[in-house]
Amino acid sequence: MPIEFVATSRLPTAFGEFKITVFQDPKSGEEHVALSKGLELAPTEPVLVRIHSECLTGDAFASLKCDCGPQLQATLKLINEVGQGAILYLRQEGRGIGLTNKIRAYALQDQGHDTVDANLMLNLPADARRYDMCSIMLDHLNISQVKLITNNPLKINALTELGIEVVTRVPLTVGLNPFNAEYLQTKHDRMAHMYDEGDF
């Protein structure tokens, strides 16, 4: 069942004031959130948008095993500086495999397996995320053209297939550290994430 708009509120943050909008599937209870700024009137130009999948360890606990937290913070800062944009915060922990399986995969990574093989060893897909809810969220925000903040070509393809025009890609290379360098290299080598060699 499609998600539906539920409620919206002001949300002051360390990076500026945003509007938070929550959507929910009335049957399953699945929730997703949009953080937006400068969209009180329907935009007439392409809008900065990031699709950010939930990462409890990175977003809340400042884990150094990934680059999720720095990516989220950098996007909030960028949108606040520009004065307009949106983050679609999708509740798809661990690239869609859930928190428990994500930590199980982390345990395999501790043994030397990369992020892709760890998922596969658990009989899980390397990436189980879906993006169909994005069209409902963007439509609610009156966004039809986006400047997508991403390194992931799957997100560009997903929005395009949903009929959303991706005018340009905005690279987001932040958060590299000794604990996640191999993880980011794997995303480049095995998941086609669009990093430059100089990023590592």
Active site residues: 127, 129
**What is the rounded distance in angstroms from the CA atom of residue 94 to the CA atom of residue 55?**
6
CA triple 149-151-154, angle to 5 deg:
100
Q: What b/e sequence results for 1-29 when a residue is b if at least 16 CB atoms lie within 10 Å of its CB, and e otherwise?
A: eebeeeeeeeeeeebeebbbbebbeeeee
Q: Please tell me whether residue 37 adopts helix, strand or coil conformation.
A: strand
How many CB atoms neighbour CB 65 within 10 A? 17
Q: Is residue 185 exposed (0-12), middle (13-18) or buried (19+ Cβ within 10 Å)?
A: middle
9 φ, ψ (degrees, to nearest 5):
-155, 160
**What is the rounded distance in angstroms from the CA atom of residue 91 to the CA atom of residue 51?**
11
How many CB atoms neighbour CB 66 within 10 A? 21
113 within 8 A of 121, measured Cβ to Cβ: yes
